[in-house]
Structure 1
Amino acid sequence: MTSVPLLDSPSPAEMSSRPGRLALSGPAVLLVAACLIVAQLVLRGWVAGAGFFYWDDFLLIGRVSSQPVLSTELLFTSHDGHVMPLAFVLTWLVTEVAPLNWTAAVLALMALQLLASLAVLRLIVVLVGVRARMLGPLAFYLFVPLTVPAFAWWSAAVNALPLQIALAWVSADAVRLVRTGRRGYAVSGAVVFAVALLFFEKSVVVLPVAFAVAVLAAHVSGGSVRAAARRGAALWTAAGAVLLAWAACFLLVIERPRGLSAPEHPGSLWSRALSDGLVPALFGGPWRWERWQPATPWADPPSVLVALSWLVLILFVAWTMRTRRRVVAVWACAAGYAVLTIAPVVLLRDGPSTAGLLLQSMRYFADFAVIATVALALIALAPGRHGPSPVIGSNEQQVLAGAPLTHARTVGGSARIEAGRDSRVRQPAGIAAIVLFLASSVYSTITFTRSWEPSPARTYVTGVRAALPGVADAPLLPQEVPWNVLNPLAFPENMTDRVFAPIATPTTFALSTPRLRMITDEGAVVDAQVWWNRAIVAGPEPRCGHRVRGTAGANLPLDGPMQIRDWTAQVNYNAERDGRIALSFEGETETIADVRAGLNTVYIRLLGGGDTLRIRSLDERQSLCIGAGPVGVTAHTR
């Protein structure tokens, strides 16, 4: 049989006869792709380096530092509605290697981003082949600002990046399985799918996305969708079994997230999600970000950018439908996924202004960058309406399998001439569009980073890290970290003994101490005192106060009631011998404290409320006198 030219790869003679057309060989295309990935990593490295641990990061770090890494209590805990054992394992690994060290976290983020970029590159090559037209979809994924907010925040990144990796990898495996029939791709896809589910429950979308990519690749190539679905059955079956096993475990441990409610204004939320978040980001927006500490930045695009983005999107969709065959299904699936991505945030994360800001923060949409990249690659794969027409003959089996045709017969010389003319116009326009997109995206990334960079947590944690070695003479009482580091609603995870567990020694924090000090909002350790919110009243025994003999215990009346919360009691005592005492609000959990012989003071952290303290000795031979003293909050003395 006589060989005929490739549909998308004209002969060198044809290329040289087309003035103004840029020709790149396969190695040159891969070199440009590698340069783009390196450029993305450099930019993302700067973004990550400007940040620091933030909010939920301290919850994850505190948990992995206080519980065994292989315990079910850690791995299968429900974290704000998420079950993500491998995210905890990765956090534990980074914490073990370099506790509360942001540089180590940045390196881990960069490694995940590299894996995601390589997985997307593999998917594009599988769909389009190694040719210049693959660079557009690749550049889109690498630099679209849609993925930046989720990348910069550790807690979001350990969910978002494994999902992006799995979407790209499993989809590529699905296409390769359909085209080649090799069962190894089914095994590879199922394994990656299982790993992704253990990072983030939203990875359930990976299987339907892989199925859609495989059948769409066959559809736009002119093949049989039914045959593609049938040839990928090994992957659908293996991944389906993984999904069922995971779902059984997930439903056993998941807890209802706090604050779940029905949205009050769903139409407004949808509008903000699309017009202020998703659509401008697809074209390199939003250019401008707003932030109210301690919230994350959210998109605040100019009105002109919103209008221009919608206009360009509509024109681009219309143009591709007019010039490419069989792309309507591609656009329909991409739009459906966008709805699927936005809906959970609109429906499940509502609150006064909360859902709108979450939608505009865009971290929940990072995976849509992979979907949009796939859509662009499939559109590039689709044959043009005015180009050479494929003829199913010797290549029929290849088309049914969903692979691009390798041979075709032209309809006539006029079609080839017309295609050449269109190419001379489209290629410079495409290059210009990519350059404008890259400039817009880089600008949006820079403005995001400037908004994200101010970090009260960085100042606080850096100060505490420097100060802790100087407190070895007496332990610190646990206290709440500043509200702009971690919200009090996170109690007890917002206590200093939890947050700084990775860098603390066993004696750094305790519930009692002979020397009262506290950590300021700047991270300095200073001497402190107890406010007289309430007082232990003077006891009845002259020159002693309240007498405590042996383990029988005694009541210490207060001069008024106290509400339930954390309090510090200043216990002024005179003890006959060294020993230990137990102190509590009446009926509440006791706190154990050491006492020394003679006239001394011990400061004890208590949780509870009421108008009476209960004290007892743990030594039958002990006798103490307890004097008056304050019970209240702790404040520094300077």
Structure 2
Amino acid sequence: MAQRTTGGAHPDAAPAARTPDDAPPRLARRIALAAAAIVLAATALRVWVAAAGGFYWDDLILTGRSATVPTFSADFLLYDHDGHFMPAAFLLADLATTLAPLQWWLPAVMLVVGQLAASAAVVRLLWVVMGPRPLLLAPLVFYVLCPITLPSFAWWANALNSLPLQFALAWVAADAMKLARTGDRRYAISDVVVTIVALAFFEKSVLVPFVAFATVALAYHVDGVARAFRTALRRCAALWIPTAVVLAVWALVYLTVTDSRVESDHLGNAPGFVHHATSLGLVPTFLGGPWLWDRWPPSPPWATPPTALVIGGWVVLAAAVIGSIVHKRRVAPVWIAAAAYVAASELAMVLTRGSDLAAYELAQTLRYLADSAVVLVVLAALIARAPRRSERPREPRSGGLVALTTVAVVAFAVSSVLSTITFVGRWENNPTNPYLANARVSLAEHRDVPLLDHPVSLWVLVPVATPYNSASHVFGPLPDRPEFADSTPQLRQLDDDGMLVEAVVSDTRTIPQGPVPECGFRVERTPDGVAGDTTIPLDGPLLDWEWTAQLNYFASTAGDVDVRLDTGDTVTVPVEAGLNQVFVRLIGGGDALHVEPTTPGLALCVGSGPVGTVAPTTERVR
């Protein structure tokens, strides 16, 4: 292993990362056990967070598509999900939907396993960069407890993007350091595989190789190796070259299957978004904040830190920057690199989500900066690795410094746990949870009558999610439910509580009383074809939209009739013999209804009835 130098080292010298051999075995074991205990304790806290959560927004889009689109189809795997390219995430969502449809326990397990894997990768990264030293535990506590990763963990759809990215950032950076030190190409193979998998979960994983390169190059730099960046390129060429090929192929696929969401015409909003993301989002987490969260259901919680915490966070950050530069050599580029990563994340947020219709609070949800926690861990590890400016020998153990560090870490942990508790208080107030629970029971109890498709509660998914806010999409994964059809003899709908209730049709337009006495409009299928009034005029025109027609009819026999508006598709409607009614969901418009029997010998009398939208009543289905 190359020795650390203060300058003028051989250009091919490897980063002098400490290894377990650099510390007494007993100390290394103690640090490993302490790190494991910290990770397990933090994971237990995240288990509580996951157990208090449930499906939210995009989660239902993923599960609904899993139930309605063939799994191994391009339409499923290459779907452009709001600008995201995430086939591996779709596969995991499909697995959860297949094994436990709309049951939260399996996604919760995925969250915990993903977080545990990411935490283990961070421990490995710290061990490689810093070596087995007690100070390693401080940045580890930051990562496993820092609230900046909390919102992205709790939201399953977001975690399917964020956790693989966090794992990849830590794993690939550590392997790149090992490759630079040993030249063993198995680390290059491992890194390429992990990068490919991460790219299949989240397009932001394109940054993984760049973070790995920066970690190696900055490690050389703080070690005093000459031409650090060039040396990092040379020593890890076995990684950078195949990774560049992977990124090129991935970019071609990504640009082919996704539509760009990048918009630069609202860059005037950038200062506001950056302020909310940085001052009200990221900076308070340096002290374990934000402590407080707000929420407007169905939006996710966002950080609302007290002003004192914001100021305190900036003071701590300024002190850390100034103190590290004053006491450590060559660490300024480390800070610049970390700031560049955060800035790139915020720029991506502004360009893809910062429209004039987006509220600044979006930036305070923290999920756009969650992966920055790993980069900040790398920052801390490299600063700890950097040599001190003072040439005076340092006491191996400074009781005052150890005590101060311990107090700071404990205070951060307590503050972070407080922020986690208050977050859960907001997050578990999710109207989707009781809605899904009630609907699951109500639908299972009333499977005998088909349901007309209709939007789910606005508190669950708003119309902007169309067509994925339909009941047929959300509840499609459930095996124990009524069928969704274009017609039904009884009009029912799920109310805002998820309970099945009776529903009525508004009289936007009306089918008038027809010209045939005691019949209305008569139409029948004779051996010579359809006879009678197949065109039923309405009392006014309808715009092209989704409408429901209430057909009050008398049928001579059971059979089928085709129903449509002037524009739109035809719906085949089963009718029963005798006096009955049926409710038909029609897409289209015009000023007439067209009814044609398709069953030979079927004669139909259609009476007056409304054509309009469906409104639930307060009467629950018995």
**Residues 79-113 of structure 1, C-alpha deviations (whole Å, 9 max, x = no match):** 11111111111100111111111111111110111
Aligned to 2:554: 574
Query: How far is 1:561 from its partner?
Result: 2.1
Contact 2:448 2:482 (8 Å CA) reproduced: no
Indicate if the aligned counterparts of 1:518 and 1:526 stay in contact, CA closer than 8 A: yes
8 A contact 1:262–1:348 mirrored in 2: no
Which whole-Å CA distance do the structure 1 matches of 2:17 and 2:357 have between them?
53
Offset of residue 454 of structure 1: 0.5
Paired amino acid for 1:319: G
For residues 146-161 of structure 1, the aligned pairs below 5 Å read 146-161=148-163
Q: Distance in 1 between matches of 2:116 and 2:265?
A: 38
Match of 2:206 in 1: 204
> In the alignment, which residue of structure 1 is the partner of 2:491?
516
Q: Deviations over 1:554-597 (max 9, x none)?
A: 11211122233222211111222221112121121112211112
Q: 1:168 maps to what in 2? A: 170
Name the CA shift for 1:320/1:214 in 2 (closer, same or farther; >3 Å).
Answer: same
Q: Tell whether the 8 Å contact from 1:261 to 1:349 is kept in structure 2 after alignment.
A: no
Which residue does the alignment assign to 1:233?
237
Q: Does the C-alpha gap of structure 1 residues 260 and 495 become closer, same or farther in structure 2, counting only changes over 3 Å?
A: farther
Within-5 A mapping of 1:319-398: 319-352=323-356, 354-387=358-391
**Counterpart in 1 of 2:9?**
none
State the distance in 1 between where 2:196 and 2:279 align: 34
Aligned to 1:409: none
CA distance in 2 between counterparts of 1:339 and 1:422 reads 37
Call closer, same or farther: CA 1:43–1:260 in 2, change over 3 Å: farther
- In the alignment, is residue 471 of structure 1 matched against residue 446 of structure 2? yes
Confirm or deny: 8 A CA contact 2:280 2:303 kept in the other structure: yes
Q: Assess if the C-alpha contact under 8 Å between 1:346 and 1:355 holds in 2.
A: no
Matched with 1:630 is: 610
Once the two structures are TM-superposed, the CA of residue 122 in structure 1 deviates from its matched residue by: 1.0
* Greater mean alpha carbon deviation, residues 181-190 or residues 222-231: 222-231
Contact 2:18–2:131, Cα closer than 8 Å, also in 1:
no
1:532 and 2:536 aligned: no
Deviations 1:253-303, CA, capped at 9 Å, x for gaps: 111449885133322222222111111112211111111122111111111
RMSD: 2.4
Alpha-carbon separation, structure 2, partners of 1:267 and 1:200 = 26
Once the two structures are overlaid, the 10-residue window that deviates more, 137-146 or 218-227, is: 218-227
Tell whether the 8 Å contact from 1:468 to 1:508 is kept in structure 2 after alignment: no
* Structure 2 stretches lacking a partner, 5+ long: 5-15
Q: Do 1:146 and 1:282's aligned partners in 2 also have CA atoms closer than 8 Å? A: no
| Residues 297, 459 of structure 2: 8 Å contact kept | yes
535-544 or 333-342: which moved more? 535-544
| AA partner of residue 59 (structure 2) | D
Preserved contact between residue 121 and residue 171 of structure 2 (Cα < 8 Å): yes
What residue is the counterpart of 1:502 in the other structure?
477
345-354 vs 480-489, which moves further: 345-354
Q: TM-score, structure 2 length as denominator? A: 0.92
After TM superposition, the structure 1 = structure 2 runs for residues 345-494 of structure 1, keeping only pairs within 5 Å, are 345-352=349-356, 354-387=358-391, 415-416=392-393, 419-420=394-395, 423-494=398-469
Matches within 5 A, 1:557-568: 557-568=537-548
Residue 600 of structure 2 corresponds to residue 596 of structure 1? no
Letter in 2 for 1:498: H
- Conserved? CA contact 1:471–1:508, under 8 Å: no
Asked if the contact 1:145/1:281 (under 8 Å) is kept, the reply is yes
The aligned residue for residue 7 of structure 2 is none
Work out the CA distance in 1 between the residues paired with 2:332 and 2:610: 74
Distance 2:581 2:260 in 1: 45
| Letter of the structure 2 residue corresponding to residue 112 of structure 1 | G
1:195 to 194, 197, 203: 197
SS at match of 2:469: coil
Aligned to 1:126: 128
Pair 227,251 (structure 1): closer, same or farther in 2 beyond 3 Å? same
Query: Could you say which residue in structure 2 is the equivalent of 1:403?
Result: none
Partners of 2:542 and 2:184 in 1: how far apart? 71
Q: What is the CA deviation profile of residues 155-177 of structure 1, one whole-angstrom value per residue up to 9, with x for unaligned ones?
A: 11111111101111111111111
- Corresponding residue for 1:411? none
Residues 33-83 of structure 1, C-alpha deviations (whole Å, 9 max, x = no match): 111111111111111111111111111111111001111001111111111
User: How does 1:288-303 map onto structure 2 within 5 Å?
Assistant: 288-303=292-307
Aligned residues: 597
Quote the Cα distance in structure 1 between the aligned partners of 2:616 and 2:270: 47
Could you tell me the percent identity over the aligned residues? 43
Kindly state the Cα deviation for residue 496 of structure 1 after the two structures are TM-superposed.
Answer: 0.4
CA shift in 2, pair 1:258/1:187, >3 Å: closer
Partner in structure 2 of residue 77 of structure 1: 79
- After superposing the two structures, state which structure 1 stretch, 611-620 or 278-287, moved more: 611-620
- One-letter code of the match for 1:357? E
Question: Deviation of residue 487 (structure 1)?
Answer: 0.8
Give me the whole-angstrom Cα distance separating, in 1, the residues matched to 2:493 and 2:289. 44
Q: 1:261 to 1:158 in 2, by over 3 A?
A: farther
Q: 1:255 aligns with which of 249, 252, 259?
A: 259
Bigger mean CA deviation after superposition, 539-548 or 349-358: 349-358
Q: Distance in 2 between matches of 1:111 and 1:599?
A: 59
Displacement of 1:549 after TM fit? 2.3
Deviates most, 128-137 or 498-507: 498-507
User: Which residue of structure 2 aligns with residue 282 of structure 1?
Assistant: 286
Q: In the TM superposition, what is the alpha-carbon distance from 1:369 to its structure 2 partner? A: 0.2
CA deviations over 1:392-426 (Å, ceiling 9, x no partner): xxxxxxxxxxxxxxxxxxxxxxx33xx11883332
**Inter-partner Cα distance in structure 1 for 2:373 and 2:496:** 39
Report how far residue 370 of structure 1 moved. Answer: 0.3
Cα distance per residue 1:482-517 (max 9 Å; x no partner): 111001122221110110001045852211111222
1:184 — aligned with what? 186
Q: Secondary structure at the match of 2:398?
A: helix
Pick closer, same or farther for the CA change 1:504–1:572 going to 2, 3 Å: farther
**2:273 pairs with 1:269:** yes
1: CA distance, partners of 2:286 / 2:101: 37
In the superposition, the TM-score normalised over structure 1's length comes to 0.90
* AA at the equivalent of 1:41: T
Where do 5+ consecutive residues of structure 1 fail to align?
A: 16-22, 388-414
Q: Is the 8 A contact 1:349 1:355 kept in 2?
A: no
